[in-house]
Chains A and B, each alone.
Chain A
């Protein structure tokens, strides 16, 4: 309970910490009743886990995702847009670092759990930050920084000054369209089929067609799951498309990387950047076909400087595997930019 003194900067006295679907977020994660055991991330009854085929890269953190529907409510099948989760639904995502990525059995450190709530006035959320133990987490509406280290896939020790976003920054990614906060992940085409089946079996997801008619599950880093173009576009959709679409926060750039985009120019091919500053890296176009080293998209994915890096938030570290995919995709593109 030392934690309470460290994290609880404002307004959280003890006692009543009622969580409602509207208004101010409650102070402690435990007050949501989402877990039977927070440290073990054992969900309570009615809290259903799900996973994504291709997750957003978040500095090599692990993520555990859960959804809780209001009692008796279900979600109708929809394989084009985000699933219509009813008012009162709660989405939960816990971020952590494995102590050693080569051996998950060695356990992990929890960083934060984000709770996104569908209230009467729309979705809103906050992050709950873990302290010295994982028994509970405290709300951090202004975000915070957490120094973390772990053993990486190659056996090296890696460190990160992990950023827990503030409440406004939720909107940076989650206001995918028109300034309205929405969940990003829960679209059927993003969900792992085994988890979709589990949601159906639990009676949460109704009206699903036979499995053969489900959208093709694409894992960006697994060539067995899709063509190079499908995998690259899936990667860009998940990692960039929530801002870089015609109504998102990245709309002022004119660069649109969401799945629905079909115009090569808007996808960045031979598109000169705007308002990019040092983000240009001295390069002329967002994507130069056949030339990943001349493409600003690759340069910005490879950067960690806050003015240059993309995405702007949620990433401090370079995602080597993702860059390799986008380089391969651009290298295989026919044509040139002339000039």
Chain B
């Protein structure tokens, strides 16, 4: 009865001529919004919704000039399907994202599309319990530098579940989880972004059964300096399809992802305890799997607590195929130089797995810190031995990495 009353007071009058009740079948408090509802009506609903309630968008396109925001706990925003209900921000002139969520606990976004935000699609800041379920975040003109940065963007959150989502066209990362803890990304599709999926400065993440294709880089696990939450660890990347991520990097310069070489499958930057297994990774122009420290990037590090070196990386039981002789970007340059030393008379093909070979001079590396690369079929390997100098020699010998780490724990939400 309460739901009905709210519908009458808010939904009615703004949905004239529309059929169907967006709140049909939804338990508890629900505010229904029909296509044609003004931004004022939508934003008012997002302000006045009670904790635990649902804001339901009907079929059709809702267009906004300003960003939307939600600050109420445990609210669900739901549409009629990611191809039926669209929140379009093509004409947005205000707001650094389409939807900003600042609720402290509980946020669900389901069965809806967010399109063409000038900035980020959906940003969720500091929330415990985030669920993106069958959401599409897309820049509909395809890859363009002027597209927004992130599609789905939880940051400093806990207990994040992103499943069944589709992200396309982000000029940074389609799905980006930053400075967060306890994360499960499954069954998502990321295509035509600079980075398909990125886990950054986060701990306890499972990235599984996703498809990343046509991005510049498929899946990234990065640790960066200068952040409040740093030195992320314990990420499992498994059972993913990472295919032909060869879209020319269209990120604006100055961003870390602008340095991702076009044609990267999985990249691990200065991360710790990362287990990459049972993935199919193929047909990348630059590298199927790259593991690098922050050092070759040549960016000043002003954060004394930042650990620039990846440790305890375990790459095993993946299927790595496809060959290339034209790697790009910073890593591509290193690869060409290193391979040139090894095969002075050419020709060469880029190996499947590359490591920059940079070790922390201040650390004594034990067996638990090593890079392990094992049981990846006939995949080949190169230690780039950066910086290349007479004293160092790149190597394609995988035997120093014939080891395994204790499997990392499963994420449970």
| A278→B299 contact, CB < 8 A | no
Q: Pick the residue among B125, B176, B226 that contacts A272 (CB under 8 A).
A: B226
| B102→A307 contact, CB < 8 A | no
Residues on B with C-beta less than 8 A from A141 are: 44, 47-48
Bound-complex Cα distance A254 to B256 (A): 15
| A270→B300 contact, CB < 8 A | yes
| B119→A306 contact, CB < 8 A | yes
Find the A residue at minimum CB distance from B258.
A280
Which residues 5-57 in B have Cβ within 8 Å of A in the complex?
A: 9-10, 38-44, 46-48
| A252→B125 contact, CB < 8 A | yes
Residues on A with C-beta less than 8 A from B227 are: 252-254, 274
A251-B156, A251-B228 given as contacts; is B69 within 8 A of A306 (CB)?
Answer: no
Bound-complex Cα distance A78 to B164 (A): 53
| A277→B95 contact, CB < 8 A | no
> Is B303 in the interface zone, CB < 8 Å from A?
yes
Bound-complex Cα distance A249 to B69 (A): 14
Find the A residue at minimum CB distance from B43.
A142
Which residues 126-173 in A have Cβ within 8 Å of B in the complex?
A: 140-145, 161, 163, 166-169, 171-172
| B93→A169 contact, CB < 8 A | no
Which residues 56-77 in B have Cβ within 8 Å of A in the complex?
A: 65-67, 69-71
The tally of residues in A whose CB lies under 8 Å from a CB in B reads 54
Nearest CB on B from A194, distance (A): 35
A163-B66, A163-B94, A282-B252 given as contacts; is B178 within 8 A of A275 (CB)?
Answer: yes
Find the B residue at minimum CB distance from A288.
B300
A144-B40, A305-B118 given as contacts; is B156 within 8 A of A270 (CB)?
Answer: no
Residues on A with C-beta less than 8 A from B298 are: 339
A171-B71, A275-B178 given as contacts; is B92 within 8 A of A306 (CB)?
Answer: yes
A10-B44, A252-B179, A284-B254 given as contacts; is B146 within 8 A of A278 (CB)?
Answer: yes
A168-B47, A254-B227 given as contacts; is B255 within 8 A of A265 (CB)?
Answer: no
Chain A positions 170 through 199: 1 when the CB is less than 8 Å from some CB of chain B, otherwise 0: 011001000100000000000000000000
Find the A residue at minimum CB distance from B95.
A306
Nearest CB on B from A251, distance (A): 6
Chain A interface, DSSP helix/strand/loop, else mixed:
loop
Residues on A with C-beta less than 8 A from B146 are: 278
> Is B150 in the interface zone, CB < 8 Å from A?
yes
> Is B171 in the interface zone, CB < 8 Å from A?
yes
Which residues 229-279 in A have Cβ within 8 Å of B in the complex?
A: 246, 249, 251-254, 264-266, 269-278
A168-B70, A265-B226 given as contacts; is B300 within 8 A of A306 (CB)?
Answer: no
List 13 additional A-B contacts (Cβ < 8 Å) besides A142-B39, A275-B176, A312-B96: A10-B41, A11-B9, A142-B41, A142-B43, A163-B66, A168-B69, A252-B178, A265-B226, A272-B299, A272-B300, A274-B226, A276-B254, A280-B252
A binding-site residues for B, Cβ under 8 Å: 9-11, 140-145, 161, 163, 166-169, 171-172, 175, 179, 246, 249, 251-254, 264-266, 269-278, 280-285, 296, 305-307, 312-313, 316, 337-339
24 CB-based A-B contacts, threshold 8 Å: A142-B42, A145-B94, A168-B46, A168-B100, A169-B69, A179-B126, A252-B125, A266-B226, A271-B226, A272-B256, A272-B300, A274-B178, A274-B256, A275-B153, A275-B178, A277-B148, A278-B145, A280-B254, A296-B254, A305-B118, A306-B96, A307-B149, A313-B94, A313-B95
